[in-house]
Amino acid sequence: MESIRYLFLRDLKKTWPVFLAGLLLFVGSGLLEIIISYRASVNGFDSQVTGIVMTAFYVGFLLGTLVAPQFISFFRHAWAFRLYAGLVVLTAYLLAVSQNPVEWTLLQVVNGISMGGLYVVIESWLNLQSCRKSRGFLLSLYMMCWYAGLAMGQVFLSVDLQNLADYFYLVCLMVTLSIIFITVPALKSPVFSGMRPFSLGQLREVKATSLSGSFFVGTSVGCIAGMAPVFAHSVGLSIQQVAFFCVSFIVGAVFSQFPVALLGARLDHLSLKLWLALSCVVICLGMFYLESENIVVLLGSAFLIGGLSFPIYSLSITHGYNNLKSPDAALSASAGLLLVNGLGAAIGPLLCGYLMGILDDVGFFLLLAVAHLLLAIHLVSQLVFSKQGEAAVSSAEN
C-alpha cells in the first residue's frame, strides 16, 4: 500500500510550477490588497467608502467564480491562468494612476473577476492532479503558499519607495513573473471531461459544513484583508506597524496549516473546526472588551486569530472534495466553494466598515467574533443531526 508521503511527493512533482506561480501571484495580490486599503485611508476616504471599495473586489470575485468553469473548460487551465493574470496586471496599473473612489470601485470589480478565476484555476488544478489521500496535505501546502505570499506582499509595504504608485508597479512585476512558471514545458494541464456548466443547484453536492466553513472564513478574511489596515491606521500605528499587524494574521495561518492538516487526518473534521471556531470567538471577544492599542497585544492576537481561523477553509475544501460523488464535479465544486467564500468575503468589509463607523475601532474584532460564533452554532447543529442519524440507523439495525 502506497504511503501518504509517497503519494504527496508524487503529486507535488506534477504540480510544483503551479505552487511557485501561485506564490508569486499571491505576493502581488497581498501587496495590492493592503496598498489599496492603506492608500484609501491616506486619501481621506471614510471607513464606509473604503468598505465599499474593498467589497467591490469580492463582488467581482463572485462573478469570476461563476464564469470560471466555462472559461477554463474552453481555454484549459494553463491559458486561463495566463489570461487572468494579464488582466490583473492591467488592473493594477490603472489603479496606480487613479485616485477616484468610483474608478477604484469599478477596477476592483475587474480585479475580483480575475482573481476569482485564478483561484478556481489553481484549486481545481491541484484537486484534479491529486488523490484522496494526498489531497489534504497538497491543499494545506497550497494554503501555506497563499498565506506566505500574502504575508510577503504585505511586508513590501514597509519598503520605502518614492511614492505609493510604485507599490502598484511592483504588483505588476510579481504577477507577470508568475506567468513564467505556467509556461514550464513539464507542466501538464489537467485532463477532465464531462464538465457541466456551473449552477447554484450543484452546491447540493458539497457538504453543508464545507459551505459554512468556506462562507464564514471568507467573511473573516474579507474583514481582515479589507479593514485591518484601516483599523491599524486608526489606532495610530505607523505604516511599518500596519504592515506587520496585517502580516501577523497570515504568519499565524502559515504556521498552523500542517499541524491542523495532521489533526484533520486523525480527528473528525466537524469537531476540529468547532474547536478552532470557538477558540477564535474567545480571542476576538477578549480583544473587543480590552480595546488594547498595545502593538505587542495586537500582533499576538492577530497571530492567534489567523492560526485558528484560516485553516478552517482548507479543512472545509478538503472535506468537500473528498465527498464528491464524481471527479467530473471537481471544477464546479472549486467554483462553488470559492463562490460561497467570496460571498462571505464581500460581506465582511462592508459589515466591518459599518460596525467600525458605529462602535469605532473595536467593531473590527466584534465582527470576527460574530462570524466564528455563527460558524460554531452551525457546526454544533450538524454534529447533533449526525449523532441523531447514527442513533436512528443503530436502532433500525437492532
Q: Which of 12-26, 126-140, 232-246, 266-280 has the lowest mean pLDDT?
A: 126-140
User: pLDDT class for 389, splitting at 50, 70, 90?
Assistant: low
User: pLDDT class for 166, splitting at 50, 70, 90?
Assistant: confident
Cα–Cα distance for residue pair 316/337, rounded to 1 Å: 9
**pLDDT tens-place string over residues 32-76:** 887 887 777 777 777 778 778 877 887 888 888 888 888 887 888
User: pLDDT class for 395, splitting at 50, 70, 90?
Assistant: low
Other CB atoms within 10 A of residue 97 CB: 9
Q: Give the chain's mean pLDDT.
A: 81
For the four alpha carbons of 287, 291, 296 and 298, in that order, the dihedral sign comes to: positive
User: pLDDT class for 197, splitting at 50, 70, 90?
Assistant: low
Cα–Cα distance for residue pair 69/77, rounded to 1 Å: 10
Cα–Cα distance for residue pair 247/235, rounded to 1 Å: 17
- pLDDT over threshold 90, residue 368: yes
Between the alpha carbon of residue 84 and those of residues 72, 78, 176, the distances in Å are: 10, 10, 11
- pLDDT of res. 375: 93
Which cell is 219 given?
A: 467573511
Domain ranges of the chain: 10-182+206-397
- pLDDT of res. 388: 60
Cα–Cα distance for residue pair 269/136, rounded to 1 Å: 12
At 190, phi and psi to the nearest 5?
Answer: -60, 145
Other CB atoms within 10 A of residue 382 CB: 17
Rounded to two decimals, the pTM is 0.74
- pLDDT of res. 106: 92
Length of the chain: 398
Cα–Cα distance for residue pair 298/231, rounded to 1 Å: 11
**pLDDT tens-place string over residues 315-367:** 887 777 666 655 556 666 777 777 888 788 878 888 888 888 888 788 899 99
Cα–Cα distance for residue pair 261/179, rounded to 1 Å: 29
On whether the CB atoms of residues 256 and 248 are closer than 8 A, the answer is: no
Q: Which of 217, 257, 243 is nearest to 150 (CA)?
A: 243
Which cell is 103 given?
A: 474608478
Give the CATH class of 10-182+206-397.
mainly alpha
For the four alpha carbons of 79, 55, 332 and 140, in that order, the dihedral sign comes to: positive
Which helix or strand (DSSP H or E) is residue 398 part of?
A: none
At 235, phi and psi to the nearest 5?
Answer: -90, 5
Quickly tell me which residue has 484555476 as its cell: 121
On whether the CB atoms of residues 277 and 376 are closer than 8 A, the answer is: yes
**pLDDT tens-place string over residues 241-293:** 887 888 889 889 888 887 887 787 777 778 889 999 999 999 999 988 887 77
User: pLDDT class for 100, splitting at 50, 70, 90?
Assistant: confident
Between the alpha carbon of residue 294 and those of residues 193, 224, 364, the distances in Å are: 55, 18, 16
Tell me the mean pLDDT in the region 84-113. 90
DSSP 198-210: P-GGGGGGS-HHH
Q: Which of 176, 295, 174 is nearest to 243 (CA)?
A: 295
Cα–Cα distance for residue pair 203/336, rounded to 1 Å: 6
Which cell is 97 given?
A: 494612476
Contacts of residue 138, Cβ cutoff 8 Å, sequence gap at least 6:
8, 11, 12, 15, 126, 130
* Residue that wins the pLDDT comparison between 230 and 265: 230
Q: Which of 249, 19, 261, 305 is nearest to 140 (CA)?
A: 261
Cα–Cα distance for residue pair 227/352, rounded to 1 Å: 7
On whether the CB atoms of residues 223 and 367 are closer than 8 A, the answer is: yes
Tell me the mean pLDDT in the region 102-130. 87
DSSP 182-195: HT-TT--PPP---P
* Residue that wins the pLDDT comparison between 359 and 220: 220
Dihedral through CA 55, CA 238, CA 244, CA 278, nearest 10? -60
Cα–Cα distance for residue pair 234/310, rounded to 1 Å: 25
Cα–Cα distance for residue pair 306/221, rounded to 1 Å: 9
